[in-house]
């Protein structure tokens, strides 16, 4: 990616995050996170106790320090969320700069009128020439141009946009570098792709995912259990103390400190940051996710369905050769093939016109002058062509299309394809090319070879997906032989040939019915139903407007192999959340051994000796006050210490689930126990040396 700015290091983001941290110190904001809300209330109550005592003439340095560090705990959690939001906001600000007031060249009754881009409505026709900024989202209905999309995608290399096919969509705010195009506006201001991108990137309005909600409920449940335990602790302590002939002294600030140290504040304080940063990391790879749920699903997908055209291949199949049937001259076949393609605006259709011109010098002709009626391609018939008329009566019917479609067409005239031509069709398909049959009236004239070009580097990327346990399936409308050849060249695990929008949808539902999570990558209008049905639907930015609206992710670079990064980020999100949850809960063990022995070590003490419970004071902390304060300070400092990990994510390696689990339990489980022992002890030594407690 050309745009991977390390926003985390920018001072402006730090300053804004610090300000937002203070603004979030409200009941309404804190109540969104039940665990941190307990800390917030504890800080308020401790502060109230300090000032109440101070008003009564009693100054408690210990209570002041406890109160301050509880406030720091809340502020650090707010800062973690604010810094994650700030990274997304920085991206949003750069996108908003793209949204300038563009003057559009609107086509009205054959005349061009300059109008503000903000006044354009769906269906309006505009003209864009070299140097013009495209005033709004639309579809190219005529022409081809080189377009600079760096303002949206961050990629400096220009891209080609042309009418017909799946590369006709253009985005408002991008700039035409060459040639001239006619655009039909497909979105009004406020609902453009850029507007949606800005809305999606706004992290503050991010909705919690189901997994995040479930984890929040679990953490809240744990906190409630600890709350009940701490509330009952004074009564239990008083009972135990009386049995030993002593008096239990458990001040409320110490009980609040104990509660705060035992509840999972670390993961609670970082939970929002983890979710927000997951979407932000995806944005840095030029992928826009419409929901956090889609990112989580990406981390768990089992099957990836890849549309061949434009996804595995470059998308523009080129006519390479004409193969005439027996008794048909190649020049005549080329002439008829060109006639059938004159009104065909797809890249394939234009390449047939060009090939006929290059080989035989045929000039393009005007179909209207020949009384020609163009028959557009449809997914149901898999054919296109032209009917040539004379005095209103059809005199020639020319059709070109897929093998099965032309077979059915000829069958209606009681005609069959000869064995020789069947052999030609098979040879073309075995090469990985697409055979397009051309028929005139009731006769097969021959075959056109359209060559698919597979994108480089896909085989290695698909091998990486296989290592992750993801099965790749190529979906194409080509016949079995062509599909098999391209599938082998691309390195996918399986393929679905002769697919229609209905069969794609059926395949996805079938796999989902077996309990698999399915991801689909596509760019065409016919991919839209499958993209909408998929658990993860990644639409190519070069694709049609319909496809981009149907998917729950949009790849701005239109690189199908990008799914590897999407999967890794999804897995990172889940692993980071799980790892920090493990670390947070494991932390409680060390804090338990820090605070409880300090509180109860003197119970049952005889003749000035330590009580039997002091054996639990493994860290040999200086005093009960230093033990409590050290634990509270460590509990606060661990949140900012883990912010970089929450934002960056746990490193992912394509290993089996068992190995990943063992690795993370060792690092974050064992590390979560050992780290607090070391940290609390060092803080305790520092406090004692400085004479703070």
Annotated binding site for ATP: 344, 348, 377-384, 400
CB-based contacts of 176, cutoff 8 Å, min separation 6? 128, 129, 130, 131, 132, 133, 134, 145, 146, 147, 148
At 101 the three-state DSSP class reads: coil
What does the DSSP assignment read for 22-78? HHT-SHHHHTTSHHHHHHHHHHHHHHHHHHHHHHTT---HHHHHHHHHHHHHHHHHH
Q: Measured between alpha carbons, how far is residue 579 from residues 79, 413, 691 in Å?
A: 20, 68, 36
CB atoms within 10 A of CB 609: 10
Note whether 385 and 398 are within 8 A (CB).
Answer: yes
Asked if 195 is an active-site residue, the reply is: no
At 499 the three-state DSSP class reads: coil
Residues in the chain: 693
Tell me how far apart the 2 most distant CA atoms of the chain are, in Å: 123
56 class by beta-carbon count within 10 Å (0-12 exposed, 13-18 middle, 19+ buried): exposed
Annotated binding site: 344, 348, 377-384, 400, 523, 527
Helix H segments across 412-550? 419-430, 458-467, 480-490, 501-513, 528-533, 545-550
114 class by beta-carbon count within 10 Å (0-12 exposed, 13-18 middle, 19+ buried): exposed
Q: Measured between alpha carbons, how far is residue 307 from residues 31, 278, 287, 377, 501 in Å?
A: 45, 26, 18, 19, 11
Write out the two tokens for 1. 């990616």
**What gap in Å lies between CA 575 and CA 4, rounded to an integer?**
22
CB-based contacts of 312, cutoff 8 Å, min separation 6? 306, 454, 455, 458, 474, 486, 490, 492, 560
Write out the two tokens for 228. 């009940």
Question: How large is the C-alpha radius of gyration of the chain?
Answer: 34
**What gap in Å lies between CA 523 and CA 310, rounded to an integer?**
7
Note whether 500 and 477 are within 8 A (CB).
Answer: yes
**What gap in Å lies between CA 628 and CA 139, rounded to an integer?**
65
Q: Measured between alpha carbons, how far is residue 538 from residues 146, 506, 542, 553, 602 in Å?
A: 24, 18, 12, 5, 63
Note whether 365 and 386 are within 8 A (CB).
Answer: no
Give CA torsion, residues 196, 199, 205, 209, to 10 deg: 40
DSSP strand pairing (103-108 vs 125-129)? antiparallel
Note whether 384 and 164 are within 8 A (CB).
Answer: no
**What gap in Å lies between CA 430 and CA 424, rounded to an integer?**
10
Task: For 516, list phi and psi in degrees, rounded to 5.
Answer: -90, 150
Of 307, 478, 535, 557, which one is the catalytic site residue?
307
Catalytic residue numbers, as ranges: 307
């Amino acid at each position: 990616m050309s745009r991977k700015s390390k926003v985390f290091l920018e001072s402006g983001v730090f300053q804004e995050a610090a300000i937002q941290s203070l603004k979030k110190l409200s009941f309404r904001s804190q109540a969104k996170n039940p665990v941190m809300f307990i800390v917030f209330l504890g800080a308020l109550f401790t502060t109230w106790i300090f000032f109440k005592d101070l008003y009564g003439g009693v100054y408690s340095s210990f209570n002041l320090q406890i109160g301050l560090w509880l406030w720091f705990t809340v502020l650090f959690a707010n800062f973690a969320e604010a810094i994650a939001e700030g990274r997304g906001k920085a991206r949003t600000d750069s996108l908003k700069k793209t949204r300038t007031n563009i003057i559009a060249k609107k086509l009205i009754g054959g005349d061009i009128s300059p109008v503000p881009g903000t006044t354009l409505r769906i269906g309006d026709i505009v003209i864009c020439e070299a140097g013009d900024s495209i005033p709004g989202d639309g579809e190219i209905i005529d022409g081809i141009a080189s377009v600079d999309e760096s303002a949206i995608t961050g990629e400096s290399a220009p891209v080609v946009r042309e009418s017909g096919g799946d590369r006709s969509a253009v985005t408002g705010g991008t700039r035409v570098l060459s040639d001239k195009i006619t655009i039909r506006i497909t979105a009004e201001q406020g609902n453009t792709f850029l507007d949606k991108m800005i809305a999606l990137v706004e992290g503050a309005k991010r909705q919690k995912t189901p997994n995040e909600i479930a984890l929040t409920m679990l953490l809240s449940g744990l906190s409630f259990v600890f709350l009940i335990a701490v509330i009952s602790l004074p009564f239990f302590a008083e009972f135990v103390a009386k049995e030993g002939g002593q008096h239990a002294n458990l001040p409320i600030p110490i009980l609040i400190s104990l509660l705060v140290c035992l509840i999972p504040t670390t993961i609670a304080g970082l939970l929002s940051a983890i979710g927000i940063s997951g979407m932000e990391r995806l944005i840095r790879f030029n992928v826009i996710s419409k929901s956090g749920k889609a990112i989580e699903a990406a981390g768990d997908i089992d099957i990836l369905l890849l549309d061949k055209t434009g996804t595995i291949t470059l998308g523009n199949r080129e006519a390479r050769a004409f193969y005439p049937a027996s008794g048909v001259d190649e020049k005549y076949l080329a002439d008829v093939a060109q006639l059938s393609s004159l009104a065909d605006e797809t890249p394939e259709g234009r390449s047939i016109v060009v090939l006929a011109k290059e080989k035989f010098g045929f000039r393009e002709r005007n179909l209207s002058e020949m009384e020609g009626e163009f028959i557009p391609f449809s997914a149901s018939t898999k054919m296109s062509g032209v009917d040539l008329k004379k005095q209103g009566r059809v005199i020639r019917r020319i059709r070109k299309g897929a093998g099965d479609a032309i077979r059915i067409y000829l069958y209606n005239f009681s005609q069959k394809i000869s064995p020789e031509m069947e052999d030609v069709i098979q040879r073309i398909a075995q090469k990985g090319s697409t055979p397009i049959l051309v028929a005139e009236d009731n006769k097969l004239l021959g075959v056109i070879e359209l060559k698919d070009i597979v994108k480089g580097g896909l085989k290695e990327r698909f091998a990486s997906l296989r290592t992750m346990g993801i099965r790749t399936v190529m979906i194409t409308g080509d016949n079995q032989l062509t599909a098999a050849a391209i599938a082998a060249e691309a390195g996918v695990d399986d393929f679905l040939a002769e697919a229609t929008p209905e069969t794609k949808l059926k395949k996805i539902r079938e796999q989902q019915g077996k309990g698999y999570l399915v991801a689909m990558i596509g760019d065409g209008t016919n991919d839209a139903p499958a993209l909408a049905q998929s658990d993860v639907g990644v639409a190519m930015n070069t694709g049609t407007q319909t496809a981009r609206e149907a998917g729950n992710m949009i790849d701005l670079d239109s690189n199908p192999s990008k799914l590897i990064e999407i999967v890794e980020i999804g897995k990172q999100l889940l692993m980071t959340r799980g790892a920090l949850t493990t670390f947070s809960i494991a932390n409680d063990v060390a804090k338990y051994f820090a605070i409880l022995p300090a509180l109860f070590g003197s119970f049952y003490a005889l003749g000035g000796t330590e009580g039997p419970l002091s054996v639990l004071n493994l860290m040999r902390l200086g005093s009960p006050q230093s033990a409590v304060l050290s634990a509270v300070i460590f509990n606060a400092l661990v949140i900012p210490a883990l912010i970089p990990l929450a934002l960056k994510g746990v490193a992912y390696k394509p290993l089996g689930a068992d190995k990943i689990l063992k690795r993370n339990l060792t690092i974050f489980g064992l590390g979560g126990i050992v780290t607090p022992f070391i940290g609390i002890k060092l803080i305790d030594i520092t406090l004692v040396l400085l004479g703070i407690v």
